[in-house]
Chains A and B, each alone.
Chain A
Amino acid sequence: MPTAARLDLVPVAIFAVFAAAPFLASASGAEGYVLSLLTRVMIFGIAAMALDLILGYGALVSFGHAAFFGIGAYAVGILASHGVEDALVQVPVALAASAFFAAVTGAISLRTKGVYFIMITLAFAQMLYFLASSLAAYGGDDGLTLPARSLVAGSDFLENDYALYGATLACLLGAYILLRAVVASRFGRVLRGTKENITRMEAIGFQPFSFQLTAYVISGMIAGLAGCLLANQAEFVSPAFMTWQRSGELIFMVVLGGLGSLHGAIIGAAAFLLMEEFLPEILHAAGFFLNDDLRWRLTENWQMVFGPILILIVLFARGGIVGLLRRGHHD
């Protein structure tokens, strides 16, 4: 029991850090930058947690989860361009559209297994990407700029960066609590069982398909919500939100943080985005002994370092960052 109690401190610590961050941001002097970066981290955390539900607990490798980012973001963008700017309309529309897309594509994808499932989820996401690129009325390839952030019941308080940060934190916490409950519930137990041994689950009388599809829909809706937030954070919507690279990054975040722990997905999203943001500067500082030309090249090509670092973490930290934390406790 003490291990379980200690482990629960990790999510508490994560939320404490996110709650305290705005105060530090205002002290840092670069509050706009810090808030916007951390808001992005939390948005990706929500999407990565959504993916963890099916990937970490259901062993379903969806390579098209960025599609839901796109659906959520375009729901906000398209409605806003028609003058419907209230989140109380935008968010339900985004959730309904995400659920519909998940139900239809999931019902087809889940007929396949393994690599085929990965490819078909990718194919559906690509279809949506090209659809968005061809929507000339909504910016096509270039995307569309939001006239303003979403209203909430007619109030424009989200224009304040702190308020958007707070709203995003509330969504992150809500999604975490919801998913935590789902995973422990009867439904979640069946889902976890299908990950372990699908034949055994059928042999005790469950139809795995209906549980997997339901999980896929829940996951898609939560990722769609993250898309609404992303549109508001960027104040911009574009097909680039749902590239296959973006879907791959989401998988990477979940694996990096630790599969099947939910809060691991948040840690993974944070680690990924913060490394992406600061690695060039870290490399610049670390390269102090090199001549200017080499140092510049190292900084410029930071991704050559980023890739190997990610691969090393995944290879040597089995169970991701959360796995490392857990092992630290045991020693």
Chain B
Amino acid sequence: MTEPLLELRGLRKAYGAIVVTDDVNLSVLPGELHAIIGPNGAGKTTLIHQISGTLSSDSGRVLFDGEDITHLPMHGRVLRGLARSFQITSILPAFSALENVALAVQARSGSSFRFFGDAAQEKALNEAAMEYLSMVGLAPRARVAAGLLSHGEKRQLELAVGLATQPKLLLLDEPLAGTGHEESLRVVETLQRLKGRITIVLIEHDMDAVFSLADRVSVLVYGRVIATDSPESIRANEEVRAAYLGEEEVV
């Protein structure tokens, strides 16, 4: 048995009386693309918040790469190789696309307590940033202010920023949400290429994308993981169909 890269043990989160994450146990193996699906409001985003450290958990533990990171702040987790994207696009709108990525590269290369020298002219940072932009197909838009990019391009930019932190595990919260057909194909293609190189946890409502990309799928309903299995078995699982696939009648 390989050790899981990420392990959730009895994770819980409640807002008042509403239990949003209910005793979640989950293992993500190194190198796999693990999809988490579930109806709206199932608690998927909340779970990502808890794993990434955006939100603290009421109880339970988060183990990452052999270390208990339950009480580590978000930036500490990022430096250990745990990166995330946001369901609601989160970028630096006044910075160029290149600088958005270059900042993430900067976070990983040397001290940022340097008070002299023009950071925007640092070749090493810019060249690395350019590579990540090319990886997601945004290189031609490098000089454009991030706030002026199309919605789909912003999603691609977020992916590039996530990659630039050199994660071992990338948590993606609906990277396809709101993207056009072309852009969505490009993101799926990018994920296909990343697959196997880094471990990915993918939350997505687009079932075509999920079933074509995922090695394993977990189904979250009302804050509980009701099944974790291969895509084929999940498709065939009666409980899953009843709780989720049946309702939405996905193609």
A186 to B106, CA, bound (A): 8
Contact of A196 among B95, B112, B113, B115 (CB under 8 A): B95
Contact of B112 among A182, A187, A197, A203 (CB under 8 A): A187
Contact call A204/B104, Cβ cutoff below 8 A:
yes
Please indicate the chain A residues that have their CB under 8 angstroms from the CB of B119 in the complex.
184-186, 188-189
B71 CB-CB contact with A under 8 Å = no
Contact call A186/B114, Cβ cutoff below 8 A:
yes
CB nearest to A197 among chain B residues: B92
CB nearest to A191 among chain B residues: B112
Please indicate the chain A residues that have their CB under 8 angstroms from the CB of B92 in the complex.
193, 196-197, 200
B75 CB-CB contact with A under 8 Å = yes
Contact call A203/B73, Cβ cutoff below 8 A:
no
A179 to B63, CA, bound (A): 43
Q: Report the contact-size class of chain B (Cβ under 8 Å from the partner).
A: 35 or more
Please indicate the chain B residues that have their CB under 8 angstroms from the CB of A188 in the complex.
115, 119
B234 CB-CB contact with A under 8 Å = no
A259 to B117, CA, bound (A): 23
Contact of A199 among B90, B112, B120 (CB under 8 A): B90
B75, B83, B86, B164 pick with most chain A CB within 10 angstroms = B75
A181 CB-CB contact with B under 8 Å = yes
Contact call B52/A203, Cβ cutoff below 8 A:
yes
Contact call A193/B95, Cβ cutoff below 8 A:
yes
Type the 1/0 row for B43-85, where 1 means its CB is closer than 8 Å to any CB of A.
0000000001010000000000000000001110011000110
A206 CB-CB contact with B under 8 Å = yes
A192 to B73, CA, bound (A): 21
A214 CB-CB contact with B under 8 Å = yes
CB nearest to B110 among chain A residues: A186
A154 CB to closest chain B CB (Å) equals 32
A190 to B119, CA, bound (A): 10
Q: Report the contact-size class of chain A (Cβ under 8 Å from the partner).
A: 20 to 34
A185-220 interface with B by 8 A CB criterion? 185-190, 192-193, 196-197, 199-207, 211, 214
B119-140 interface with A by 8 A CB criterion? 119-120, 122
A202 to B90, CA, bound (A): 11
Contact call A206/B118, Cβ cutoff below 8 A:
no
Contact call B90/A197, Cβ cutoff below 8 A:
yes
Contact call B83/A203, Cβ cutoff below 8 A:
yes
Contact call B78/A185, Cβ cutoff below 8 A:
no
Contact call B75/A205, Cβ cutoff below 8 A:
yes
B20 CB-CB contact with A under 8 Å = no
A131 to B54, CA, bound (A): 41
A215 CB to closest chain B CB (Å) equals 10
Type the 1/0 row for B93-107, where 1 means its CB is closer than 8 Å to any CB of A.
111000100011011
A196 to B94, CA, bound (A): 7
B8 CB-CB contact with A under 8 Å = no
B95 CB to closest chain A CB (Å) equals 7
Contact of B93 among A186, A187, A196, A205 (CB under 8 A): A196
From known contacts A203-B52, A203-B74, A205-B79, infer whether A187 and B113 are also in contact, taking CB-CB under 8 Å.
yes
Contact call B161/A185, Cβ cutoff below 8 A:
no
From known contacts A205-B78, A205-B165, infer whether A200 and B90 are also in contact, taking CB-CB under 8 Å.
yes
Please indicate the chain A residues that have their CB under 8 angstroms from the CB of B111 in the complex.
186
Please indicate the chain B residues that have their CB under 8 angstroms from the CB of A193 in the complex.
92, 95, 103
A231 to B117, CA, bound (A): 34
Please indicate the chain B residues that have their CB under 8 angstroms from the CB of A204 in the complex.
78, 83, 103-104, 107, 161, 164-165
B203 CB to closest chain A CB (Å) equals 16
From known contacts A202-B74, A204-B161, A205-B75, infer whether A189 and B90 are also in contact, taking CB-CB under 8 Å.
no
Contact call B108/A205, Cβ cutoff below 8 A:
yes
Please indicate the chain B residues that have their CB under 8 angstroms from the CB of A197 in the complex.
90-93
Please indicate the chain A residues that have their CB under 8 angstroms from the CB of B117 in the complex.
181, 185-186
A203 to B87, CA, bound (A): 13
From known contacts A200-B90, A200-B92, A205-B79, infer whether A189 and B73 are also in contact, taking CB-CB under 8 Å.
no
B116 CB-CB contact with A under 8 Å = yes
B51 CB to closest chain A CB (Å) equals 12
A200 to B116, CA, bound (A): 24
B138 CB to closest chain A CB (Å) equals 17
From known contacts A202-B75, A204-B165, infer whether A184 and B118 are also in contact, taking CB-CB under 8 Å.
yes
Contact call B113/A214, Cβ cutoff below 8 A:
yes
8 inter-chain pairs at a CB distance below 8 angstroms, sorted by A residue, are: A182-B116, A186-B106, A187-B115, A189-B119, A202-B74, A206-B107, A207-B73, A214-B113
| A-B CB proximity, top 9 nearest | A205-B78, A205-B107, A196-B92, A204-B104, A186-B114, A189-B119, A186-B119, A202-B74, A184-B118
Extra inter-chain contacts (9) besides given A196-B95, A203-B83, CB under 8 Å: A184-B119, A184-B120, A185-B116, A187-B112, A200-B91, A203-B90, A204-B164, A205-B165, A206-B107
